Amino acid sequence: MALSLWTVAAYALQLGALVTVGFVAAWALRIRIPRHSLRFWQTVMAIALLLPLAQPRSVNPTGLQLFTESISSAAIPQNGGSIVPAGVDGATIILLILAAGIFARLLWLGVGLMRLRSIVARAESHDAFADISGELTQSLSITATVKVSDDLEGPATVGVRRPIVLVPRSVLQMSPAVQRAIICHELVHVQRRDWLQTIAEEIWCAIFWFHPHARLIASKLSLAREMVVDEKTILMTRDRRAYAEALLAFSDPQPHVIGVTPFIGRRTLSQRISLIAEEGSMSRNRRALSKATLALAACIAITAAAVDRFPMFATVQAQAVIYDPGPGISLPVVIKEVKPQYTKAAMQAKIQGSVWLACVVDETGHISDVKVSKSLDSEYGLDQAAIDAARQWEFKPARRDGKDVAVRVTIELTFTLKK
């Protein structure tokens, strides 16, 4: 489970690095032209989605091993401490919380889409928009229905096969120029099939509900998409003033409706109005493409470093918990003992005595680690002879709470010359 949690954590770190660099680069290089901004953030999202396919399979001791060790030490305390129920560790608990959050958010999304369906069913057609919608749908070569809704406080577009443009009843009191700007904006969304992208971003945010950068990249995509639609709407209506009035009319905070992108968000109002006011800002910029390319290069470089440092699917040998003898732990029992052999040099030097070895008897009953704690002879080979003999010993493993566990033991091996 610790490795599964590492996969999630590593992806979260990589996504954080990617989006942070993208945000900083876009701000520093002033990527303002709507279509370039949209392509930039779409590419960042594509990189984020493809990250799992770009992972090395190498061991990463500085990341994964430290992570698994910290999870193990947190989940399995030292002797005498409390312990979580069998089969449940810290990593499992965290993964269950994440899964519960995803389930709850997807359930919330499903309920929201059902509510949106009922809103569409209650909406009514109105003759006041027949001429405007007819003209605009013909110009855009699309088919869509415009309806009035009492359940929404701002315009919205729903559906792909049979798209419907919903406008609040307050639009009926607005001037024809503002009505045309609003309906044109939504019909451009229909032409671009933006509703599918809105739903995809809702699902993305539901899956990564715990990651603030997931919401950030979705909001940047939404803003860039709206600004592209702003640009095309003004080109079609040729009335910047009416379009600005339309944005201002719905600039007050609106309740969030699942599956609907707000016509205007209060946080983005000033940015979109200023872009509309600057005629030159919507013209082609020769340097815009190079800026976006430079920003993407920075994103790729930093993300590649994050992938190398924190690979999602790297493997590392699990570190077993090793106990010290004490209450609740049975000592291992020797079932096979091998005596050490004298070396000829040690016999000639007439060396006698004991070598003390600090060992670990693992869960299988074998010596997994052995070191000399008290040396007898390192010059003529008796220390090494003792190590070689100890590695051949076999034990009935130590037990804790009915399970075989690894335990530290000390072995004394004695060398005695025959008289």
For residue 193, the number of C-alpha atoms closer than 13 Å in the C-beta half-sphere is 4
> Cα-Cα-Cα-Cα dihedral of 97, 101, 107, 113, to 10°?
-170
Q: How many residues does the chain have?
A: 419
Q: How far apart are CA 135 and CA 130, in angstroms?
A: 9
Predicted pLDDT of residue 79: 40
Amino acid at 182: I
The predicted model gives 319-341 an average pLDDT of 86
Decide if 88 contacts 344 (C-beta within 8 A): no
Count of other CB atoms within 10 angstroms of residue 77: 12
For residue 287, the number of C-alpha atoms closer than 13 Å in the C-beta half-sphere is 5
The contacts found for 246-249 with CB under 8 angstroms, 24 or more apart, are: 246/174, 246/178, 246/181, 246/182, 246/185, 247/272, 247/273, 247/276, 248/273, 249/170, 249/174, 249/178
The predicted model gives 217-230 an average pLDDT of 91
The predicted model gives 84-107 an average pLDDT of 79
- Mean pLDDT, the chain, as a whole number? 84
Phi then psi for 253, rounded to 5 degrees? -55, 135
Q: How far apart are CA 345 and CA 268, in angstroms?
A: 85
Decide if 18 contacts 197 (C-beta within 8 A): no
Q: How confident is the model at residue 87 (pLDDT cuts 50, 70, 90)?
A: very low
The predicted model gives 362-389 an average pLDDT of 90
Predicted pLDDT of residue 93: 87
pLDDT in tens, 170-194: 999 999 999 999 999 999 999 999 9
Q: How far apart are CA 414 and CA 374, in angstroms?
A: 12
Q: Does domain 322-415 have CATH number 3.30.2420.10?
A: yes
Decide if 323 contacts 407 (C-beta within 8 A): yes
| Burial degree of 334 (CB within 10 A; 0-12, 13-18, 19+) | middle
Sheet with 156-158: strands ordered across: 124-125, 145-149, 164-168, 156-158
Cross-strand pairs, 367:
361
The predicted model gives 394-415 an average pLDDT of 91
Decide if 20 contacts 213 (C-beta within 8 A): yes
Q: How far apart are CA 401 and CA 360, in angstroms?
A: 19
Q: What is the pTM of this model?
A: 0.68
Q: Which of the two residues, 59 and 213, has the higher pLDDT score? A: 213
Intervals of CATH 3.30.2420.10 along the chain = 322-415
Q: Which two tokens stand for residue 3?
A: 């490795």
